Every structure is written in structure tokens, then in C-alpha cells.
């Protein structure tokens, strides 16, 4: 640990901002200093300059970057978290989209869970589609993509094995149908896994987001809280380009697009809200 906590730490903070878009203002200085100091102790480095060099030049730099991202973000999540949004998805949003798709002569439904952490959200999306839409979704080509900046949580999502605590909100009868128990916990069954794919993606990197196009619904819950106004506008603009016209964008309950963009219309539903992209908002 360095002898004193000086402004060297801001170099690391700014590097995180430049590479990920996540920004920690001076008011959170104690938070990010403590997180960065923990990584210095772990690596036995004596300065933040040395730590930044390690991130940028050491062969273990990418792995360390992943560990640092874990330190400064909250990966607390669970199945059925904020379930009102999933109910709105199957009761209101998806039926509206399916009607529109039928008029267009297509049966493809694409959903993106951005900042999906260890996979609970995209698997919950798949579970709700199968459980509550049943035959209405049977003949549709459903594609659910989960992305996160952290490779380690994406690997955990691909494994799809969870503790009972992560499934605490899932009714017992639904748990029996969609999870297999083993000595490691509860494993997502093939009915869910076949609908979901995962990949590492940095929301702040436009190149990473070029393949992300023609989504009908995007979930990005409790992610924009890490961005400042500039990076938030950039990321939301990328989301807008990734959505089809009249597609839906769902945020966390404490988040909004106020003063970020005017390309979405706010839609209220029981227990929450969503944003709907207006036609002709791709540029």
C-alpha cells in the first residue's frame, strides 16, 4: 500500500473512466481509494503509478482489470429481481411486439440483457417467456443475449449454477421445472439455456456494440448509475441504435433518461415504467 493517499489514485480512476465509461466523482473518493488500495495490497505494489503500469503492460493486466471491475461494481443480483418489470414484459410489452412482428411477417424476437452480471436476469427473461406466454411463444424464434464487461461473471453465467439464495424469489413449483439440483447448487436446465447466449461486451466501446442491432427489448438495469452524463449519453445513444423502431428499453427503478435523450417515450405500467423508442430515431 502506498505511503500516502495522494492524487495518483485519480490516474487509475480516470483510466477506468476512459476504458469503461464508469465514473466515480470526488464525492466517492473514499470508496474508490479503498477499492484500489485493496488491489495494490494484493499485488504488493507500492504506488498507483505502478498499478496503472501493471494494468496497461503486464500480461496479467486483463485479468487484473476484471478483478478491479468486480471491486468497484455491485454484482448483487437474483432471479425474479424487480419482478413487476418481467410481468409487464410478458403481459404488455411482448404481446404488443408480437402483433407488430406478425404484421411484418417475421417470427423473430430478440432481447438484450446488458450488464447481466452472472446471468440471473437473462435466464429470468427466458423463464418468464416460457412460463407465462406458453403456446403464444412456441412458434417464435427467441434470442436472448446477456452481456457484461467482466469475463469472470460471463463464465459463471454460461455455467448457469446458482445458490438457493439467488433463487429465493422463485416459486417452488417453477424452480422444479426449470432447475436441476446437484451438489454445486441449482443448475439452469436446457429449456432455459437454449434461449440464452452470453458474451463479454463493454457498453462504452462502440466497436463492441456494432454487432448489437435489431433488438426488440433491451434491459439495462442498475448499470447507468456508474456513468456520468457524458458517458451515459454515449451509451444510451448506442442502445437507441441497437433497438428496432418501437422497441422497449427498461432501466432500474432508480434510473431515468431525464436530461439524457429525447428519443424515447416514457411508458407506465403497473409497478414500473419503460421507455419506447419512437420511429426514425436511429441517427
Domain boundary among 48, 72, 96: 72
Whether 119 and 151 have beta carbons less than 8 Å apart is answered as no
33 and 99 inside one domain:
no
> What is the reported pLDDT for 4?
34
Whether 227 and 21 have beta carbons less than 8 Å apart is answered as yes
> What is the reported pLDDT for 262?
92
Domain tally for the chain? 2
Exposure pattern of 138-174 as b/e (b: 16+ CB <10 Å)? eebebbbbbbbbbebbbebbeebbbeeebbeebeeeb
C-alpha cell at position 174 = 417453477
Whether 96 and 48 have beta carbons less than 8 Å apart is answered as no
43 and 130 inside one domain:
no
The string of pLDDT tens digits covering residues 33-87 is 888 888 899 999 988 899 999 999 999 999 999 999 888 887 678 999 999 999 9
Give domain status of residue 26, yes or no.
yes
67 and 88 inside one domain:
no
pLDDT at residue 3 tops 60: no
What residues make up the domain containing 34?
8-72
C-alpha cell at position 245 = 423502431
CATH number of the CATH domain containing 45: 1.10.155
Query: How much is the average pLDDT of 224-228?
Result: 92
Give domain status of residue 150, yes or no.
yes
> What is the reported pLDDT for 208?
86
Give domain status of residue 3, yes or no.
no
The string of pLDDT tens digits covering residues 233-249 is 999 999 999 999 999 99
Give domain status of residue 110, yes or no.
yes
Neighbour-count burial of 102, counting CB atoms closer than 10 A to its CB (0-12 exposed, 13-18 middle, 19+ buried): exposed
179 and 66 inside one domain:
no
CATH number of the CATH domain containing 212: 3.40.50.150
Binning pLDDT at 50, 70 and 90, where does residue 6 land? low
Other C-beta atoms closer than 10 Å to the C-beta of 14 total 13
49 and 176 inside one domain:
no
pTM of the model: 0.90
> What is the reported pLDDT for 282?
64
Amino acid at each position: 500500500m502506498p505511503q500516502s493517499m495522494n492524487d495518483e489514485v485519480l490516474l487509475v480512476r480516470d483510466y477506468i473512466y476512459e476504458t469503461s465509461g464508469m465514473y466515480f466523482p470526488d464525492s466517492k473518493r473514499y470508496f474508490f481509494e479503498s477499492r484500489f488500495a485493496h488491489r495494490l495490497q494484493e499485488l504488493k505494489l507500492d504506488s498507483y503509478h505502478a498499478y496503472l503500469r501493471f494494468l496497461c503492460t503486464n500480461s496479467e493486466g486483463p485479468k487484473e482489470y476484471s478483478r478491479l471491475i468486480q471491486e468497484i461494481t455491485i454484482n448483487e443480483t437474483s432471479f425474479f429481481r424487480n419482478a413487476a418489470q418481467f410481468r409487464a414484459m410478458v403481459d404488455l410489452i411482448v404481446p404488443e411486439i408480437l402483433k407488430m412482428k406478425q404484421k411484418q411477417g417475421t417470427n423473430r424476437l430478440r432481447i438484450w440483457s446488458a450488464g447481466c452480471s452472472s446471468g440471473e436476469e437473462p435466464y429470468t427473461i427466458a423463464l418468464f417467456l416460457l412460463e407465462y406466454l406458453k403456446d403464444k411463444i412456441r412458434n417464435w424464434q427467441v434470442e436472448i443475449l446477456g452481456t457484461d464487461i467482466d469475463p469472470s461473471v460471463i463464465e459463471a453465467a454460461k455455467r448457469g449454477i446458482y445458490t438457493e439464495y439467488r433463487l429465493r424469489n422463485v416459486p417452488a413449483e417453477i424452480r422444479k421445472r426449470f432447475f436441476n439440483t446437484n451438489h454445486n447448487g441449482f443448475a439452469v436446465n436446457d429449456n432455459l439455456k437454449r434461449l440464452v447466449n452470453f458474451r463479454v461486451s463493454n457498453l462504452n466501446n462502440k466497436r463492441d456494440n456494432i454487432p448489437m442491432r435489431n433488438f426488440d427489448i433491451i434491459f439495462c438495469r442498475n448499470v447507468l448509475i456508474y456513468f456520468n452524463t457524458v458517458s451515459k449519453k454515449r451509451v444510451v445513444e448506442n442502445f437507441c441504435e441497437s433497438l428496432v423502431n418501437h422497441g422497449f428499453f427498461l432501466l432500474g427503478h432508480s434510473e431515468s433518461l431525464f436530461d439524457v435523450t429525447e428519443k424515447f417515450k416514457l411508458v407506465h405500467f403497473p409497478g414500473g415504467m419503460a421507455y419506447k423508442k419512437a420511429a426514425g430515431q436511429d441517427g
